[in-house]
């Protein structure tokens, strides 16, 4: 695996002489219920990115561990960037890597709150950087990846700190999972046109969990989800 942070500038220059693809993971530092560490989204994005890098032999950039997490700020420890700040950060990263010769960037995003800023940044910066091409992968919004969760845990498993995400963490960072802290209740996710904010979120989900009680999470589900995510990303890169 080629980790950008472990490579010298000369090694990166040698890499760019034959390859222009990069894997760029984005995470967050935010609450994930009483049982998961605040780095959950970062750990998940990094695990996928590194496994894809191992499979494809492509450079993996360091994971950005802060994102747009305003709707979680009512929960202690959450750190959030303003949407405009995240847009600027994404654009500056893309400008930097483009300057050196990277042209195709696979973004592995671990946090749904980042999506709008990332896509906005890409739409804006591609006018400035005409040869830049970008793809984005998010395991929970990819139908094939999330099918693993549905098939193994059920369609109502949920989306945040719920059984699917807890299973993922049991597979990649079990020391950051504390199932003994769960109170054993479900919080089914109901569709709504109302945008979530830091006042509404704790009213709807007071313990920070969106979905079924995570007690039925298993390492096997997490391993299957990681495997499918890596398979999808690697295929996207191979065909690009």
The neighbouring-strand residues paired with 135 are: 106
Instruction: Please write the tens of the pLDDT for every residue from 227-236.
Output: 999 999 999 9
Give tens-digit pLDDT for 196-235.
Answer: 899 999 988 999 998 888 998 999 999 999 999 999 999 9
3-class SS shares of the chain: helix, strand, coil, % to 5: 50, 15, 35
Q: Give 14's Cβ-side CA count (13 Å radius).
A: 6
- Per-residue pLDDT for 13 more than 80? yes
What is the average per-residue pLDDT within 80-101? 98
Looking at residues 68-80, what average pLDDT do you find?
A: 98
Q: Give the CA angle between residues 149, 120, 228 to the nearest 5°.
A: 20
Model confidence band, residue 189 (pLDDT cutoffs 50, 70, 90):
confident
- pLDDT exceeds cutoff 90 at 193: no
**Per-residue confidence at 159, pLDDT binned at 50, 70, 90?**
confident
Q: What is the pLDDT of residues 61-73, one digit of tens each?
A: 999 999 999 999 9
Between CA 87 and CA 122 the distance in angstroms is 9
* Rounded CA separation 73/54 (Å): 35
In angstroms, the CA 79 to CA 48 distance is: 23
Of 210, 216, 110, the residue nearest 160 (C-alpha): 210
Asked if the model's pLDDT at residue 165 lies above 80, the reply is yes
What does residue 52 show for φ and ψ, rounded to 5 degrees? Answer: -65, -40
pLDDT tops 90 at residue 56: yes
**8 A C-beta contact, residue 218 and residue 149:** no
Which pLDDT value is given to residue 1?
81
What sign does the dihedral 64-70-72-73 (CA atoms) show?
Answer: positive
Q: Can you state the angle between helices 40-56 and 219-238, rounded to 10 degrees? A: 50
Q: Is the pLDDT of residue 188 over 90?
A: no
Tell me, which fold does domain 2-238 have in CATH? Rossmann fold (3.40.50)
Mean pLDDT of 170-180: 97
Whether the predicted pLDDT of 184 surpasses 90? no
> Domain residue spans in the chain?
2-238
What value does the mean pLDDT take over residues 44-70?
98
């Amino acid at each position: 695996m080629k980790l950008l942070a472990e490579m010298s500038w000369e090694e990166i220059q040698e890499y760019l002489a034959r390859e222009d693809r990069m894997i760029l993971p984005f995470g967050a530092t935010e609450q994930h219920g009483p049982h998961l560490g605040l780095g959950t989204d970062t750990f998940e994005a990094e695990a996928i990115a590194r496994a894809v890098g191992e499979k494809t032999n492509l450079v993996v950039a360091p994971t950005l561990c802060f994102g747009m997490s305003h709707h979680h700020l009512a929960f202690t420890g959450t750190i959030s960037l303003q949407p405009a700040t995240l847009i600027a950060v994404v654009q500056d990263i893309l400008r930097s890597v483009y300057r050196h010769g990277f042209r195709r960037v696979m973004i592995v995003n671990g946090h749904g709150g980042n999506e709008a800023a990332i896509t906005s940044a890409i739409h804006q910066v591609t006018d400035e950087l005409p040869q830049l091409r970008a793809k984005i992968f998010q395991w929970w919004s990819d139908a094939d990846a999330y099918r693993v969760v549905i098939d193994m845990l059920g369609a109502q498993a949920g989306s945040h700190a719920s059984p699917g995400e807890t299973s993922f963490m049991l597979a990649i960072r079990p020391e950051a999972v504390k199932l003994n802290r769960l109170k054993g209740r479900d919080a089914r996710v109901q569709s709504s046109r109302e945008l979530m904010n830091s006042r509404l979120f704790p009213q709807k989900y007071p313990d920070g969990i969106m979905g079924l009680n995570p007690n039925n999470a298993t390492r096997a589900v997490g391993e299957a989800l990681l495997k499918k995510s890596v398979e999808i990303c690697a295929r996207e890169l191979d065909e690009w």
